Chain A
Amino acid sequence: MKFTWFNLMPWPYLPDDFRETNRSVWVDIDQKLFDPARSHAVYNTYMDLLEYADTLGFDGVGVNEHHQNGYGIMPSPNIIAAGLARRTKDAAVVVLGNSIALYNPPIRVAEEFAMLDCISGGRLVAGFPVGTSMDTNYCYGQIPSLTREKYQEAHDLIIKAWTTREPFAWNGRYNKLRHVNIWPRPIQQPHPPVHIPGGGSVETYDFCIDNTYSYSYLSFSGYLRAQALMNGYWKRVEERGVDKSPYRAGFAQTILVADTDEEAERLYSEHVSYFYNRCLHVYPGFADAPGYRTIKTIQTGALSQYAPPTGGYTQLTWKELTEQGHVIAGSPETVRQRMEDLIKGLNVGNIFCLMHVGNMPADKCMYSTKLFAEKVMPKLRNMFPDWDDDNRFWTQPLKDRVSAGGLPKQAPTREDLMKTYAVEA
């Protein structure tokens, strides 16, 4: 199993009446709600928490990309990842990911990911999302019905730039480059493992299968509702005649651990409510630009997860959110049982643990994270013994890595240098 500690980085100061007085948490969210001075502590605390997860033995620390978004103040995940590459030791740096259709030219992503892989000593997991309609179309202006074509070209260009050892010309529809020759290139060969976040687009299944990429379903509605979608994925895997390694798939799940089930509710319910009631308040007009999803996907009945459920989330209580699996919360034993159901039910080897939720303060987050790492994670380690050796979907770091801050405490004296660099007489 691979457990990645993930933080969406929500803005924790949305007002109580946010939902009533604002149209959307995303795209046209009120500028005045962001306070740059307060964000200084918010960013640093969030990065501290990611670094803390590394010390507890999580397999990865995860970041993602959103724009103009009140629940994700990370328009550039690579900036956060650069900090993590320096300050974490063993965890994979899971960037899930860069919306490659947005970068012009996309070799910028090939270069930045290569830098992250080099700085981290080969610990990068590279995520290539198509991106949500809110980010890609409404914030970054990509034409909805051409987004997938542009994404595909960006992907092909990045992979070719990573794997070609001499300069080449790229005459694409969206990119014309006479001299592609990225420098630096990644440590991991032939390139860092690729994870593709998807939301039920059937074309994405085949794309992952064809390229041996891991398919990640990043949902906020929990594992029970994900069953149908993941069944569709595994059915496709079977149809295509490839193995059903659980590492071909990943799933994001909100997880909250306390001493008892009651304590979990008492400690965390307000933060869960903050997330589901305020953070997911997206104006439906931004959920799905016409042409963004393919006709085939619409016809399979997959609605955008940003289309609110009938009645909206506000009516969901703690009891409903936990029983319906949006949130897995409770004592270590409760969480272990439910995680086991999730892992077996969906057949997923990569878990993106959303262990910070809404406006949760750092102390509660550390408490829950530590309990999960010490009392739950060890018991879930050996869910798929048959696939222990499957390393196609995870990082291959250098054996010998340096740490940040490896310089001597003091600058050498002149005498020291004379000794070190003595010239033979």
Chain B
Amino acid sequence: MELKTVQTTYAPVRYLVGGAGPDLVFLHGAGGVTAEDPLLAELARTHRVHAPLIPGYGDSEEAPEIRDMLDFTLHTWDVVQALGLKDPILVGHSMGGMIAAEMAAVQPNDVSRLALIAPAGLWDDAHPIADLFATMPYEMPALLFHDAEAGAAMLTAGRDVTDPNFLQTYLVTNARQLGMAGRILFPIPERGLSTRLHRIRARTVVVWGDSDKLIPPVYAHGFKKGILGAELVSIPEAGHLVTMEQPKAVAEAIGRLG
């Protein structure tokens, strides 16, 4: 994957691009996405993959003007337009799934294929979603992975956690990334999507890891119920970061959209 920049109204947007085939846009979750992401690699085998970073993620510029759900939704449409894409396959994971669903709801005629991977955006009092913003780094692997030990290794890969500069870099990255994510996820990751799901016309596949402890799989039913004809694919031995734990299975599920 290659890291490039495209200009939009609010900020220059960094995006990963690679592969050949039908155009696909991937919207990352609150943790961000890197060029080494296994799902992107898998998807790039059969698709032209575009993965824009939300402003403030990675090395991209911040966009203070993007404050609420509508801003995120329309900004991401601006990115799709700036990339010159028409009706790409729209894929979103977690927070990215929430944004993708909103995009498909506000411009239903512009999205014909939609994949939502463990999307945020709904809330059920009987199954409260864990507070990601009050979770310590050492608690993350157990929350995000089916296999916490292997997950921890993936999260810290290539980084020296004993480096004294690590904490400050970590805090700055966190403030930039999760600070931005907080605008639509804090303190409850719900901004009224349930009242708009019915507008989605895209052929939709909803993908969930069986052992997702952040957003429990029970939430899949809310999306299936809300989106006409949505298909549900549950993936065993995968947590919330199903994209890292079972990238092949996720790519296969997305492949059902044609």
Contact = CB atoms under 8 A, between A and B. Distances in A.
A286 interface: yes
Contacts of A288: 171
B156 interface: no
Contacts of B179: 144-145, 290-292
B29 to A, nearest CB: 14
B175 interface: yes
Interface in B173-194: 174-180, 182-183, 186-188
Contacts of B187: 137-138, 141, 143
A285 interface: yes
Interface of B: 67, 133-136, 139, 168, 171-172, 174-180, 182-183, 186-188
A288 to B, nearest CB: 8
Given A141-B187, A290-B182, A295 B175 contact: yes
Nearest to B139: A285
12 contacts: A137-B133, A141-B188, A285-B139, A290-B133, A290-B174, A290-B177, A290-B179, A291-B180, A292-B179, A298-B171, A298-B172, A299-B168
Contacts of B171: 288, 298
Interface in A137-163: 137-138, 141, 143-146
Contacts of B134: 27, 138, 283, 285-286, 289
The winner among B133, B134, B172 for most chain A CB atoms within 10 A is: B134
A299 B175 CA distance: 11
Contacts of B180: 145, 291
B62 to A, nearest CB: 9
B170 to A, nearest CB: 10
Contacts of B178: 290-291
Q: For chain B, what secondary structure do more than half of its interface residues adopt (helix, strand, loop), or is it mixed?
A: helix
Given A284-B136, A285-B134, A144 B182 contact: yes
**10 closest pairs, A vs B, by CB?**
A291-B179, A290-B178, A145-B179, A285-B134, A290-B174, A141-B187, A290-B179, A285-B136, A144-B182, A291-B182
A24 to B, nearest CB: 10
B183 A295 contact: no
Nearest to A173: B67
A137 B132 CA distance: 13
Contacts of B172: 295, 298-299
B182 A145 contact: yes
A116 to B, nearest CB: 30
Given A285-B135, A289-B134, A301-B168, 17 more contacts: A137-B133, A137-B187, A141-B188, A145-B180, A145-B182, A145-B183, A146-B67, A285-B136, A286-B134, A290-B175, A290-B177, A291-B175, A291-B178, A291-B182, A292-B175, A298-B171, A298-B172
Contacts of B188: 141
